[in-house]
Amino acid sequence: MNLIDQVATIYKEKFGHVPAHIARAPGRVNLLGEHVDYNDGFVLPAAIDLATYVAFSPTNVPHSTLVAVDFDQQTSFSTETISIRTQVDSSPLLEWALYPAGVMWSLMEENLPVLSMNAVFASEVPRGSGLSSSASVEMAFIIAWQTLGDWTLPSMKRALLGQKAENKYVGVNCGIMDQFASACGVENKLLLLDCRSLEWKTVPLPENLSIVIADTTVRRKLTSGEYNKRRAACEDAVSLLKKDLPGIQSLRDVNVRDFNRLAKKLPREIEKRARHVVEEIERSDQVDALLEAGDIQSFGKLMNECHISLSDLYEVSCPELNKMVKIAQSLDGCYGARLTGAGFGGCTVNLVNKKNVEAFVQALTKGYESETGLRPSIYITRASNGAELIQ
Ligand code: GLA
């Protein structure tokens, strides 16, 4: 049974009638521009064909009841209990419930009507894998509340409200990339976003290429704490660099030449973090021209450089990711390979010639398994549309 039928069936069993609607919101993969969204840089994600599905209907009771199939748990909360982060029985919100609850909170902050619903949801996006399962849950629930409330927000606005939920309610200081990709995805296209102006456009992926996502299956704990620390280091770098470059607002405003000149004034750890960002913004600034010219070799090289930088300077990789990337880069038809998303475990993204894909998947599986003893999950992904009501 596919996941759409599954959430609909469980909904019917649980609530005794078929759900009025089903919403879908995808995860994302990012090809270039990592850890630069919160530094006003450029990112190149795509929405993927793994998604979260929510079956839902309005209800007359004053609280929403949500069933999370993947956790085999349910929660009930209302607009009253949201601000004190509890369920209706006064117990604390369960961790997975912070995402839909956070979304409800940020919609309420906008004074949008948020009606009570009964909902059942499940996701194909593996959790903690760097493919933005949490953004997909947020975007699916915004679509659900939008449908019930009979108001409409532009997709970028939905993304911003999801980010606000994550920053202010869940407590992860993430940038806009994940919610943007999940909200604004376009079938068969990469999305090039300027995280400062929020202007974006689609970029076609050359026909002969496949995006292969490979999950190390390694999950790190305490990721959000490390993530917030990286962001804080970038902010510290900006305050320190301001002494010499008073006009800068973010690391986007610092070019590599100026950075090299001033780097020695920064504490070593802050210098490393900021160097990754400044150089990665310069790399991602080349994306448009390279893809326009069909220069996949050079683009792939930038992906490989990005991985080294994430590993050595930003220190968000791990031994398993490094092994997987190294194996992939040695295989025929692989233009570029690197970790994708926040890091600390999770997935790699690989740009592979279509004619080599099957052999690539086999060799990567075998090589990774023999080096680590872990069996990877590998997806040949298709860029998909963003969050939408499907029924
Ligand atoms: C996470 C965050 C994004 C982005 C990436 C790293 O996925 O949610 O905003 O910062 O990490 O590029």
- Helix residue ranges per DSSP H, the chain: 3-15, 79-82, 98-109, 133-149, 155-164, 177-184, 223-241, 256-262, 268-284, 287-292, 296-312, 319-329, 357-372
First CA to last CA distance, the chain: 17
User: Catalytic residue numbers?
Assistant: 178
pTM of the model: 0.97
pLDDT score for 224: 80
Cα torsion 48, 49, 52, 54: sign: positive
Tokens describing residue 116: 């009570």
Would you tell me how many other CB atoms lie within 10 Å of the CB of residue 223?
A: 18
* Ligand 1 atom closest to the CA of 38, numbered from 1: 10
Q: CB under 6 Å to ligand 1: residues?
A: 34-35, 37-38, 132, 174-175, 177-178, 341-342
pLDDT tens digits for the chain (391 residues)? Answer: 899 999 999 999 999 999 999 999 999 999 999 999 999 999 999 999 999 999 999 999 999 999 999 999 999 999 999 999 999 999 999 999 999 999 999 999 999 999 999 999 999 999 999 999 999 999 999 999 999 999 999 999 999 999 999 999 999 999 999 999 999 999 999 999 999 999 999 999 889 999 999 999 999 765 689 999 999 999 999 999 999 999 999 999 999 999 999 999 999 999 999 999 999 999 999 999 999 999 999 999 999 999 999 999 999 999 999 999 999 999 999 999 999 999 999 999 999 999 999 999 999 999 999 999 999 999 999 999 999 999 8
Nearest to 101 by CA among 142, 60, 70, 136: 142
Quote the ligand 1 centre to 340 CA distance (angstroms).
9
pLDDT score for 336: 98
pLDDT score for 223: 67
Q: How many CA atoms lie within 13 A of 99 on its CB side?
A: 19
3-state secondary structure of 270: helix
pLDDT score for 220: 77
- What is the Cα–Cα distance from 3 to 81, expressed in whole angstroms? 30
Quote the ligand 1 centre to 63 CA distance (angstroms).
32
Kindly state the greatest CA–CA separation across the chain: 67
* Ligand 1 atom closest to the CA of 135, numbered from 1: 8
pLDDT score for 1: 84
pLDDT score for 173: 93
Burial of 132 (C-beta count, 10 Å sphere; 0-12/13-18/19+): buried
pLDDT score for 287: 94
H-run or E-run covering 380: strand 377-381
Q: Which long-range contacts (CB under 8 A, 24 or more apart) does 171-176 make?
A: 171/224, 172/224, 172/227, 172/228, 173/38, 173/227, 173/228, 173/231, 174/37, 174/38, 174/227, 175/37, 175/38, 176/37
Quote the ligand 1 centre to 91 CA distance (angstroms).
30
Question: Per-residue DSSP letters for 346-378?
Answer: EEEEEEEEGGGHHHHHHHHHHHHHHHHS-PPEE
pLDDT score for 245: 98
Tokens describing residue 153: 């927000």
- What is the Cα–Cα distance from 381 to 124, expressed in whole angstroms? 13
pLDDT score for 294: 93
Strand 64-68 and strand 117-123: the pairing is: parallel
Strand 334-339 and strand 45-58: the pairing is: unpaired
Nearest to 307 by CA among 332, 289, 334: 334
Would you tell me how many other CB atoms lie within 10 Å of the CB of residue 257?
A: 9
Quote the ligand 1 centre to 226 CA distance (angstroms).
12
| CA nearest ligand 1 atom 8, residue | 174
Tokens describing residue 278: 């400044």
Q: Which amino acid is at 294?
A: G
